[in-house]
Amino acid sequence: MFSLPKNVTLIEVGPRDGLQNEKNNIPTEVKLSFIQALHDAGIKEMELTSFVSPKWVPQMKDAQEIVQRVRKNGRQLVLTPNKKGIHAAINAGAESLAVFVGVSDTFNQKNIHCSTSESVTALRPLIQQVKQDGHYVRACISTAFHCPYEGFIRPEQTVALCRQFVEMGVDELSVADTDGMANPLASHSLFSNLKTQFPEVLITAHFHDTRKMGIANIYASLQAGVNRFDTSAGGLGGCPFSPGATGNVATEDVLYLLQSLHIETGIDLTGICLAVDEVAPYLSRPIETAMYQLYKREQLERKE
């Protein structure tokens, strides 16, 4: 008989991963209101923004202003693809950094224009330095299950890449089903392996809901002992370098699952829906997650 975690941490990625692929330009003030509402709902760990080239990801052009103006609350991560991004983030006042590498060489080339091994080689001295300087470092492992260009990824490839980052001294591994091709068996197997091999590192599961398997994969990962998940309020998201990848698994839908299993998160579901209200009018597509739609229907019924 399996046992589930009693407590789970949800790392909210809506402000960064959720908005990076949004076609409409979201005003900085709206992003800040969205972030504050998420904090008000009980979120303690969050991806705020990314220090990437505005040429490639124009939505993140206000990264410096976001970091400098946001109210400090819990662990606030910023994504940094390279030396330039890391230095810009630190100069803006960021304390917690996230780096990212794809297991797939092809994905990595399309994303950051170098191979996986070249990325690891370039990041190694940077990670070691920022760790010495006292920064928290998260390594985001993309295409951990499948690549839209290369197909299915062998689990040993993902584990080997994770091991390299563990040896560099990262605090956390965020292991991502980038294009939503994982299934519960594969999720349980990979995360069981990672939890066993790297007990000293925080292991976070990051699922996209492209094929509506996100909740099933999260449940399988809970059974494997995972107690940290990246989620996105409103199911926002998608990867600009992964054709067809839709949003991340929705924070509000994951919360409902966890609440039904009596797993504590410290996060208020209605508060998450209120946060989605802050950004929804500015988006190019409607929010269609189950719990947000239920929340909106209940609002209408109260008005009638």
pLDDT tens figures, 138-181 = 999 999 999 999 999 999 999 999 999 999 999 999 999 999 99
Residue with tokens 């230095």: 87
**pTM of the model as a whole:** 0.96
pLDDT tens-digit series, residues 84-104:
999 999 999 999 999 999 999
pLDDT confidence of residue 40: 98
Strands 136-142, 202-207: pairing is unpaired
What is the CB-side half-sphere exposure of residue 256 using CA atoms within 13 A? Answer: 14
The DSSP line for 26-90 is PPHHHHHHHHHHHHHTT--EEEEEE---TTT-GGGTTHHHHHHHSPP-SEEEEE--SHHHHHHHH
Q: Is 65 exposed, middle or buried (0-12, 13-18, 19+ CB in 10 A)?
A: middle
The answer to whether residue 239 is catalytic is yes
List 140, 147, 162, 239, catalytic entry: 239
The one-letter amino acid at 272: I
pLDDT confidence of residue 112: 84
Q: How far apart are CA 170 and CA 98, in angstroms?
A: 10
Phi then psi for residue 259, to 5 deg, are -65, -40
Kindly indicate the confidence band of residue 123, based on its pLDDT and cuts at 50, 70 and 90.
Answer: very high
Q: Which among 237, 235, 230 has a CA at the least distance from the CA of 202? A: 230
Average pLDDT of the chain? 95
Q: How far apart are CA 105 and CA 181, in angstroms?
A: 18
Measured over the CA atoms of residue 192, residue 196, residue 201 and residue 202, the dihedral's sign is positive
Instruction: State whether residue 232 is helix, strand or coil.
Output: strand
Q: Which among 101, 180, 187 has a CA at the least distance from the CA of 148? A: 180
Burial 220-231 (b: 16+ CB within 10 A, else e): bbbbbbbbbbbb
